[in-house]
């Protein structure tokens, strides 16, 4: 093999090194091109709907009326209560259609009440339920299945209850809440009942949003308004 000396040898070595480097780069580039052609593209997060919950006007085909889809029921553990007692209101919404459907959760149901003369009785909620609508606001419910929720309303709007609720909401001091028993439950609200008698209660669920699901792209959401049965109770002093 011929030996190179001095500047001639240095130049040749540099040329060889450059050639080796060029071959290596060409090999790497060829490998990457081959990989990009043979490997299938991976699904990215952008394939998910950008708006998983939208107003029904934007996707009308994904909405189906409550009337043909669900039945709403209101019940209570007993029929007789006393003023100052917590009234248990149990709500249930069942899918009466023959296919799965998205139903909005029953938190935040609107309640109304009347006395035995038909006069409206105020239903006071201590805390307004957030109106933000997210995918978590809905449940995919199979045919014949139901969702349910229970709330408690005080019979009579007790002044002490309102004061305690306001104190608890105004303070961030857990020690104060603990020491003064402000954590005691007065229910989620109260019925402004001031005298003994019979009262009729009912519930209403309204929804104007539909779920855009990548997993169930053709599944509809119950929209519109559904009303419960009339529930009669008797309240005495």
DSSP for the chain?
-----HHHHHHHHHHHHHHHHHHHHHHHHHHHHHHHHHSPPPP-GGGS-S-SEEETTTSGGGEEEGGGTEEEEEE-S-SEEETTSEEEEEEEEEE-SSS-EEEE-STT-EEEEEETTS-EE-EEESSPPP----GGGEEEE-TT-EEEEEEEEEES--HHHHHHHHHHHH---HHHHHHTTTTS---SEEE---SSEEEEEEEEEEE-EEE--SSSTT--EEEEEEE---EEEEEE-
Which token pair is 35?
A: 């990989």
| Distance from C-alpha of 168 to C-alpha of 152, rounded to nearest angstrom | 18
**222 pLDDT higher than 80:** yes
Residue-level pLDDT at 177? 87
Q: Is the dihedral of CA 211, 212, 216, 221 positive or negative?
A: positive
Residue-level pLDDT at 146? 97
C-alpha radius of gyration, the chain, whole number: 33
pLDDT (average), residues 148-168: 89
pLDDT (average), residues 152-168: 88
pLDDT (average), residues 149-168: 89
**Residue 202 · residue 47 · CB < 8 Å:** no
Specify the pTM: 0.73
- What confidence tier does 15 reach under pLDDT thresholds 50, 70, 90? very low
70 phi and psi, to 5 degrees?
A: -140, 160
Instruction: Identify the CA nearest to 51 among candidates 132, 134, 131.
Output: 134
Name the CA dihedral angle for 47, 53, 55, 61, rounded to a multiple of 10 degrees.
Answer: 60
Residue-level pLDDT at 165? 82
- What confidence tier does 172 reach under pLDDT thresholds 50, 70, 90? confident
């Amino acid at each position: 093999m011929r030996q190179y000396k001095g500047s001639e040898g240095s130049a040749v070595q540099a040329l060889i090194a450059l050639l080796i480097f060029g071959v290596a780069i060409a090999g790497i580039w060829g490998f990457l091109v081959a990989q990009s052609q043979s490997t299938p593209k991976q699904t990215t997060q952008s394939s998910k709907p950008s708006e998983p919950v939208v107003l029904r006007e934007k996707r009308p085909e994904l909405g189906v009326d409550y009337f043909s889809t669900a039945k709403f029921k209101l019940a209570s553990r007993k029929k007789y209560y006393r003023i100052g007692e917590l009234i248990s209101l149990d709500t249930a919404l069942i899918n009466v259609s023959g296919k799965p459907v998205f139903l909005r959760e029953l938190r935040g149901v609107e309640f109304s009440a009347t006395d035995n003369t038909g006069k409206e009785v105020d239903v006071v909620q201590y805390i307004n339920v957030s109106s933000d609508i997210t995918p978590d606001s809905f449940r995919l419910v199979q045919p014949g299945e139901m969702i349910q929720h229970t709330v408690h309303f005080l019979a009579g709007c007790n002044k002490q209850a309102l004061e305690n609720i306001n104190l608890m909401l105004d303070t961030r001091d857990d020690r104060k809440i603990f020491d003064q028993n402000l954590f005691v439950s007065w229910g989620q609200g109260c019925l402004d009942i001031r005298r003994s008698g019979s009262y009729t209660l009912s519930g209403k669920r309204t929804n104007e949003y539909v779920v855009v699901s990548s997993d169930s792209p053709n599944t509809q959401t119950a929209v519109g308004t559904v009303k419960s049965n009339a529930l009669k109770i008797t309240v005495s002093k």
